[in-house]
Amino acid sequence: MFSSVWNFVKRHRRKFIFTGAVIGGVYFLGKYAQRKMREIQEKEASEYISQARRQFHFESNQRTCNMTVLSMLPTLREAIIQQLNSESLTMLLKTKPANKVEIWEDLKIISFTRSIVAVYSTCMLVVLLRVQLNIIGGYLYLDNSVGKNGMTPLAPPDVQQQYLSSIQHLLGDGLIELMSVVKRAVQDTLGDVSLKQSLSLLEVEQQLSWIRALVEGGQGPPGGPGGDSAHRRLSWYMIADEETTLSDQACGLTEQDIMTIKLLSETRDMLDSPDFSTVLNTCLNRGFSRLLDNLAEFFRPPPGDLCALGLSSAPDSLSAVSLPLAKIIPIVNGQINSICSETPSHFVQDLLLIDQVKEFAANVYETFSTPQELQK
């Protein structure tokens, strides 16, 4: 019996060897597939956790951006009011001076200048902090990630502080130059408009458009980029040029200084990008639209007067109702308290909730939270 079995095996040994090889191959292939499947699942889980952690960090960073903007608005407002002090002129008018008309003319220029500057500077503050805090946020994410352990931090605390202190340019020299340019534009546009001349809201809007055209298109800061595009001129008010930064470090650059200069250079690159120009312009359009909405409340006639004017609704009346410029001046003068309000206001909320601002912030964070080897 055993010999017959042995003879059967000898006759079919190739089949047994082939069958055994196939079965063994299938077994090891199955084991390999299982191991690979586990690796893929673990990698996907790791990537999901990493993405969720980065998304959480990004959202937390945006809340920090919003709070930082709100916390800096009082400082911005005080800086504008200090340089463009209309309150002293208002108090002087109460004394009924002999040169009352001259004071009113000065008040006209200062009132429009400071409200327009408030719109520009608030928009700039929103978008600049979005850039700076998302650059820092991206680097902090990399510094805190597993892959960066034991390596030199990209954004140590001292560098963060030095880098973020560059916002003082917008609150200092940049703001003063912006005021000068806006004041010249206001003087050129409204200087010859009589205090007694009546203007409708649409005419006020036209005046603001002319002023914006001068500020963004025709004039520039002394020593600034005069022939470049509008957003290049506006970016000058937000961050000091590279030559100024380097001259401030004339006594020698530390490693911290070099890292800060690198961050500032990356910020300038962002400010020079077309995307930044689009976002800033969107904010400015929304800001001036909100300013006009605020002014519109003072151009609405009492409901009972609509029929007398032959108008069917309040919005239809905005082009028909006119106010003397002398009455518009106090209204415009008080807008800074609404524009630069640290308490949640429609003006600032509108800017913070603009979709383009959120998308741009996400793109900046994505760029600087991605390891360089992955970017390559």
Local structure of 322: helix, strand or coil: strand
Q: Domains in the chain: how many in total?
A: 1
CA triple 137-127-53, angle to 5 deg = 25
Nearest to 217 by CA among 196, 188, 193, 240: 188
Distances (CA, A) of 356 to 70, 150, 275, 286, 362: 19, 37, 9, 12, 10
The pTM of the full predicted model, rounded to 2 decimals, is 0.81
Distances (CA, A) of 295 to 142, 192, 301, 322: 46, 22, 13, 12
Instruction: Kindly state whether residue 219 falls inside one of the protein's structural domains.
Output: yes
* 216-252 burial: b if 16+ Cβ within 10 Å, else e: beebbbeebeeeeebbbbbbbbbbbbeeebeeeeeee
Question: Hey, which residues does 323 pair with through a beta bridge?
Answer: 199
Instruction: Kindly state whether residue 32 falls inside one of the protein's structural domains.
Output: no
Instruction: Kindly state whether residue 246 falls inside one of the protein's structural domains.
Output: yes
Instruction: Kindly state whether residue 31 falls inside one of the protein's structural domains.
Output: no
pLDDT in tens, 118-147: 999 999 999 999 999 999 988 888 877 755
Residue 229's pLDDT is 47
Residue 150 Rama label (left phi>0; alpha psi -120 to 50; beta) = left
Residue 96's pLDDT is 86
Instruction: Kindly state whether residue 255 falls inside one of the protein's structural domains.
Output: yes
Q: What are the backbone angles phi and psi of residue 242, rounded to the nearest 5°? A: -65, -35
Tokens of 361: 């912030």
Question: Can you give the residue range of the structural domain that contains 315?
Answer: 72-375
Instruction: Kindly state whether residue 4 falls inside one of the protein's structural domains.
Output: no
pLDDT in tens, 50-61: 566 667 777 888
- Rounded to the nearest integer, the mean pLDDT of the chain is 80
Instruction: Kindly state whether residue 1 falls inside one of the protein's structural domains.
Output: no
Nearest to 263 by CA among 237, 233, 239, 230: 239
Mean pLDDT along residues 187-212: 94
Q: Does residue 223 have a pLDDT over 50?
A: no
Instruction: Kindly state whether residue 272 falls inside one of the protein's structural domains.
Output: yes
Mean pLDDT along residues 133-162: 79
